Amino acid sequence: MNFDPDIADRLAAIRARIAAALAAAARAPDAACLIAVAKTFGAEAVQAALEAGQRVFGENRVQEAMGKYPALRAAHPDLELHLIGPLQTNKAKEAVATFDAIHTLDRPKLAAALAAEMARTGKRPKLFVQVNTGSEPQKAGVLPEAADAFLAECRDVHGLAIAGLMCIPPVADVPAPHFAFLAQIAKRNGLSALSMGMSGDFETALALGATHIRVGSAIFGSR
Ligand SMILES: *Cc1c(COP(=O)(O)O)cnc(C)c1O
């Protein structure tokens, strides 16, 4: 059991920090969406966040989300669920059925599978293309130099509307240059949404234009 009565307090503190960071950047108070990343925590932790007014949640595994959210969604129809972890092509069907947004589109086969499933079901999850801004060999995401062509392929070959870009900077790097780089790729491709920033660096991300921040441990505790 991961239930933590401090979740409401931590959420309030994060919201205050988001408001301050947005104000400091002269951005509108509602310019960024807080995604509460509940991976590894149980439904009771999500329930505590729901009771504190949080409605947008992130998970990095399809299977875990499928087990955790049905009852929570039934009780809170306005709950929004975002997939922030890697997606296997053979899970595209479950992902489209389960998530309102997918942040990890990064290859043509997956674009094709998502497009087919979206056409079949009429469901339209918001899509982000993940960019491997640090060009790390082990990390998911399209390489920066291939991003423009992949975005064009999503649009022209697969008919997908892409909302924006997502990145996870290398752990050893200062994150700001990665956030600025992602914003630059988004801008030249006419994309407005930027999914960047986690517990340790969301204020930096907000200063550099993040529209979606993915915060886990600062809300739910360490994993
Ligand atoms: C786990 C995870 C997060 C949240 O990380 P914290 O440091 O706990 O805030 C954000 N983004 C992705 C892709 C994750 O997997």
Q: What is the pLDDT of residues 176-206, one digit of tens each?
A: 999 999 999 999 999 999 999 999 999 999 9
The chain-wide mean pLDDT, for the chain, equals 97
Whether 38 has a pLDDT exceeding 70, the answer reads yes
Q: Whole-prediction pTM value? A: 0.97
Mean pLDDT across the stretch 79-106?
98
Ligand 1, closest atom to CA 166? 13
Ligand 1, closest atom to CA 39? 1
The pLDDT value recorded for residue 4 is 62
The pLDDT value recorded for residue 5 is 67
Separation of 198 CA from ligand 1 center, angstroms?
A: 6
Separation of 221 CA from ligand 1 center, angstroms?
A: 12
Ligand 1, closest atom to CA 220? 8
Segment 147-153 long-range contacts (CB within 8 Å, at least 24 positions apart): 147/185, 147/189, 148/185, 148/188, 148/189, 150/106, 150/107, 150/108, 150/111, 151/189, 151/191, 153/108, 153/111
- Which of 171, 203, 214, 217 for a ligand 1 pocket mutation test, highest count of atoms within 8 Å of Cβ? 214
The pLDDT value recorded for residue 1 is 42
Confidence of residue 91 (pLDDT cuts 50, 70, 90): very high
Query: Which residue owns the Cα nearest ligand 1 atom 12?
Result: 84
Mean pLDDT across the stretch 98-125?
98
Assess whether the C-beta atom of 214 lies below 6 angstroms from ligand 1.
Answer: yes
Separation of 162 CA from ligand 1 center, angstroms?
A: 22
The fraction of the chain above a pLDDT of 70, given in percent, is 98
Ligand 1, closest atom to CA 84? 13
Whether 134 has a pLDDT exceeding 70, the answer reads yes
Confidence of residue 2 (pLDDT cuts 50, 70, 90): very low
Assess whether the C-beta atom of 205 lies below 6 angstroms from ligand 1.
Answer: no
- Better pLDDT: 87 or 4: 87
- As a whole number of angstroms, the distance between CA 51 and CA 80 comes to 15
Mean pLDDT across the stretch 5-34?
96
Task: Specify the DSSP element, H or E, that contains 3.
Answer: none
The pLDDT value recorded for residue 35 is 99
Number of H helices, E strands in the chain: 10, 8
Mean pLDDT across the stretch 39-58?
97
Whether 53 has a pLDDT exceeding 80, the answer reads yes
Assess whether the C-beta atom of 34 lies below 6 angstroms from ligand 1.
Answer: no
